[in-house]
Amino acid sequence: MNLDKLKHQESGNFFLMAGPCAIEGEEIALRIAERIVSITDKLQIPYIFKGSFKKANRSRIDSFTGIGDEKALRILEKVGKEFDVPTVTDIHESTDAEMAAAYVDVLQIPAFLCRQTDLLVAAARTGKFVNVKKGQFLSAGSMKFAVDKIKESGNENVILTDRGNTFGYQDLIVDFRGIPEMREFNVPVVMDCTHSLQQPNQSSGVTGGKPALIETIAKAAIAVGTDGLFIETHPDPKNAKSDGANMLHLDLLEDLMTKLVKVRKAII
Minimal distance in Å, beta carbon 38 to a second copy? 24
d(CA 51, CA 8): 21
Instruction: DSSP for 99-168, please give it.
Output: HHHTT-SEEEE-GGGTT-HHHHHHHHHT-SEEEEEPPTTS-TTTHHHHHHHHHTTT---EEEEE--EEET
Q: Which amino acid is at 148?
A: D
Minimal distance in Å, beta carbon 17 to a second copy? 20
Part of the chain binding a second copy (CB under 8 A), chosen from 27-35, 40-48, 107-115, 246-254: 107-115
Per CB under 8 A, contacts with a second copy among 114-153 are 115-118, 121, 135-139, 141-142, 144-145, 148-149, 152-153
Choose between 74 and 219: whose C-beta lies nearer to a second copy. Answer: 219
Q: How many CB atoms lie within 10 A of CB 208?
A: 14
> With binding defined as CB under 8 A, does residue 242 bind a second copy?
no
> With binding defined as CB under 8 A, does residue 219 bind a second copy?
yes
> With binding defined as CB under 8 A, does residue 6 bind a second copy?
no
Choose between 7 and 163: whose C-beta lies nearer to a second copy. Answer: 163
> With binding defined as CB under 8 A, does residue 170 bind a second copy?
yes
Distance between alpha carbon 240 and the CA centroid of its chain, in Å? 17
Q: How many CB atoms lie within 10 A of CB 58?
A: 15
Choose between 103 and 176: whose C-beta lies nearer to a second copy. Answer: 176
